[in-house]
Chains A and B, each alone.
Chain A
Amino acid sequence: MELSGPDAVILEKMDKVIREVLKPGAAPITLDKRFKEDLGADSLDSVALIMALEEEFKTSISEEQARSFTSVGGVYDFIKARLVAAKAS
Chain B
Amino acid sequence: MRRRAVITGIGVIAPGAAATEDFWRACLAGQATVASIPAHWRQYADYSSTIWAPLPKLDFSALGIGRVEQMQLDVSAMLALCATRQAIDNAQLAYILKNEKKNTFVIPGLNSRRAAVYCGSGIGGLTSLIFNQANHSITPLADALQRIKALAGEGDSAQKELRELCEAAQETVRMPARFNPFIVSMTMPNAVSANIGIKYSLNGPNTTFCCACAAGTVAIGQALRAIQSEEVDCALCGGVEYLGDEFGGIFRGFDIAKTLALPGCDPQEANRPFDKKRTGFLFAEGGAAMLVLEELEHALQREAPIIAELTAFAETFDGHNIMMIDPQAAEIRRMLHNLVQQADLDFSDIDYINAHGTGTALNDEIEAQLIDDLFGKKPLVNATKSLIGHTIGAGGAIETAVTALSIACKTTHACHNLNDPVRDLNFVREVGEFPIRKAITQSFAFGGHNAALVLEEYS
Contact = CB atoms under 8 A, between A and B. Distances in A.
B273 to A, nearest CB: 42
A51 B176 CA distance: 12
Contacts of A23: 100-101
Interface string A17-61: 000111100000000000000000000010110011011000010
Interface string A51-86: 110110000100000000000000000000000000
B100 A48 contact: no
Interface stretch (B177-185, B378-386, B402-410): B177-185
A20 to B, nearest CB: 5
B72 interface: yes
B71 A22 contact: no
B67 A47 contact: no
A60 to B, nearest CB: 6
A60 B180 CA distance: 12
Given A22-B101, A23-B100, A54 B178 contact: yes
- Kindly name the residue among A20, A21, A45, A51 whose own CB sees the greatest number of chain B CB atoms within 10 A: A51
A60 B178 contact: yes
Interface residues of B, number: 12
Contacts of B1: none
Interface of A: 20-23, 45, 47-48, 51-52, 54-55, 60
Contact of B177 (A22, A48, A52, A60): A60
Interface string B54-71: 000000000000111001
B64 to A, nearest CB: 14
Interface core residue of B71, B180, B182 (most chain A CB under 10 Å): B71
Contact of A20 (B68, B72, B180, B181): B68
Contact of B67 (A45, A52, A54, A60): A52
A88 B387 CA distance: 55
B5 to A, nearest CB: 37
A21 B67 contact: yes
Interface in B149-187: 177-178, 180-182
Given A22-B101, A23-B100, A23-B101, A52 B71 contact: yes
Contacts of B67: 20-21, 52
Interface string B72-110: 100000000000000000000000000011000000000
A21 B68 contact: yes
Given A51-B178, A52-B68, 12 more contacts: A20-B67, A20-B68, A21-B67, A21-B68, A23-B101, A45-B101, A48-B71, A48-B182, A51-B71, A51-B180, A51-B181, A55-B71
